[in-house]
Structures are given as structure tokens and as C-alpha cells.
Amino acid sequence: MKPSQQLLKLASLFVSASALALGVLTGGCATTSTGDSDSSGQHADDVLITNKVQNAIWVDSTLRSLEIQVETVNAVVHLSGFVDTPEQKFAAGQDALAVAGVKDVRNSLLVRHSSERSEQDILAPRVPQF
């Protein structure tokens, strides 16, 4: 097995173990009805979602070395930071959206370098040309 594959497996295992530990530690926490919109149970879910999204982005080889910050509030993922292309911005959003429990993604990533293709070209549906 290549060293990079071993590192990838180790990182994935670490994120999974961290998420499991968080779930075990917060599993007994009860939510309260004080009107606070961020209950301890929701906060634990948000932390777990954040960890899973960070792992999904790290596993994506096109995004691994980029400066992407992930924050989750009420199961809505906020992506911020910098990417090099509109394709990477789109890929990060798709990676986040694919994580179980994510309700929505607010993609505020900034593209450092312009591309020949605009962001709208990348996001536009692919229509076959006849």
C-alpha cells in the first residue's frame, strides 16, 4: 500500500473515531426547551456534520490541499476560503451536499484565479448539441 493511501486511511479512521467518540460523549445529553435555537443535541449533530464534510473534502484529491473552512449551524453547511477554479468550488459544494444530515450548503468559497469557463457555465445543465 502506498504511503499516501495509508495516510488517507489513517485520516479517515481518525475522523470516524472522533465522530464516534463525540456521539458517545454527547449521547446522554438531553435537549432543553429554553427557547435556545442551538440545543446541545443539535450542536453535537452540527459538529458531526462538520467533521464528515471536512473528511469528504479532504478525501477529494482535487480539494485536499486547498484552504476550505467548514462551519455547520442547524445542519446548514457554510463553506468559506479559497479555491483555484470554479470547478473546485462546485465540487466542494457537491461533496458537502452529499453528506448525510446536511439540509443545505452555503458556498461562499472564493475563486483565486479566473478560468476560461465561468461559474455559470460550470453550473449550467449539460444540453447535448445536435
**pLDDT > 70: percent of the chain:** 58
Comparing 81 with 10, the larger pLDDT belongs to 81
- pLDDT of 29 strictly over 90: no
Q: Where are the domains of the chain?
A: 3-27+38-123
> Residue 33's pLDDT is what?
42
pTM, entire model:
0.60
Lowest mean pLDDT among 23-37, 58-72, 94-108: 23-37
Q: Mind giving me the DSSP string for the chain?
A: --HHHHHHHHHHHHHHHHHHHHHHHHTTPPP--SS-SS-HHHHHHHHHHHHHHHHHHHHSTTTTTSEEEEEEETTEEEEEEEESSHHHHHHHHHHHHTSTT--EEEE--EESS--SS-HHHHHS------
Q: What is the pLDDT of residue 44?
A: 85
